[in-house]
């Protein structure tokens, strides 16, 4: 006997087994039924069927099974991964378009005439004329 104050009978092992057995039985039953008999749960055609019509109950079982599969954690995870992948693809397309737009505005010819990093480093290490004292300017030559 469970003395835990948070006892949840739905988490009992036999409950899980029974639920799995029932799920399996419903899935097997659905395999024997036509996949599309034209009666979608909740449709006007479905509503017009008598309550004891097997096609009406088959549509109810199909809808219940689809709902169960749709809300399983694995199904939710798969849908979230698909949604995030679409968002990532869209973001990548936007980044690429922005990079193309930005690179099109830059004057690459002027960039090529500027000194390279190696040239700047070389100039910094070469001895040159001493810097004038603070407050004085170099004389024009």
Nearest of 24, 101, 36 to residue 62 by alpha carbon? 36
pLDDT at 11 over 60: no
**pLDDT band at 33; cut points 50, 70, 90:** low
Q: Is residue 64 part of a domain?
A: yes
Q: Any residues with CB less than 8 A from the CB of 45 and at least 6 apart, and which?
A: 38, 39
Same domain, residue pair 32 and 66? yes
If asked whether residues 21 and 59 sit together in one domain, one would say yes
Q: Scanning the structure block, which residue is given the tokens 């949840």?
A: 8
Q: Grade residue 66 by pLDDT with cuts at 50, 70 and 90.
A: confident
- Give me the domain span that covers residue 49: 13-71
Q: How many domains does the chain have?
A: 2
Assess if residue 80 is contained within a domain.
Answer: yes
Identify the residue with better confidence: 75 or 89. 89
139 part of a folded domain: no
**Among candidate residues 46, 71, 96, the one where a domain is terminated:** 71
Same domain, 63 and 40: yes
Residue 46 sits in the same domain as residue 96: no
**Contact, 41 vs 62, CB < 8 A?**
yes
Residues 88 and 48 in one domain: no
| Residue 111 counted as domain residue | no
**pTM of the predicted protein model:** 0.41
């Amino acid at each position: 006997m469970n003395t835990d104050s948070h006892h949840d009978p739905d988490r009992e092992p036999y409950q899980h087994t029974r639920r799995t057995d029932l799920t399996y039985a419903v899935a097997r039953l659905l395999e024997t039924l036509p996949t599309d008999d034209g009666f979608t749960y909740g449709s006007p055609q479905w509503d017009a069927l008598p309550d004891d019509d097997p096609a009406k109950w088959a549509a109810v079982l199909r809808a219940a099974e689809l709902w169960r599969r749709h809300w399983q954690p694995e199904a939710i995870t798969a849908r979230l991964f698909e949604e995030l992948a679409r968002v990532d693809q869209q973001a990548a397309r936007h980044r690429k378009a922005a990079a193309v737009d930005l690179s099109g505005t830059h004057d690459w010819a002027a960039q090529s005439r500027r000194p390279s990093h190696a040239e700047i480093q070389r100039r910094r290490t070469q001895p040159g004329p001493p810097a004038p004292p603070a407050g004085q300017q170099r004389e024009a030559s």
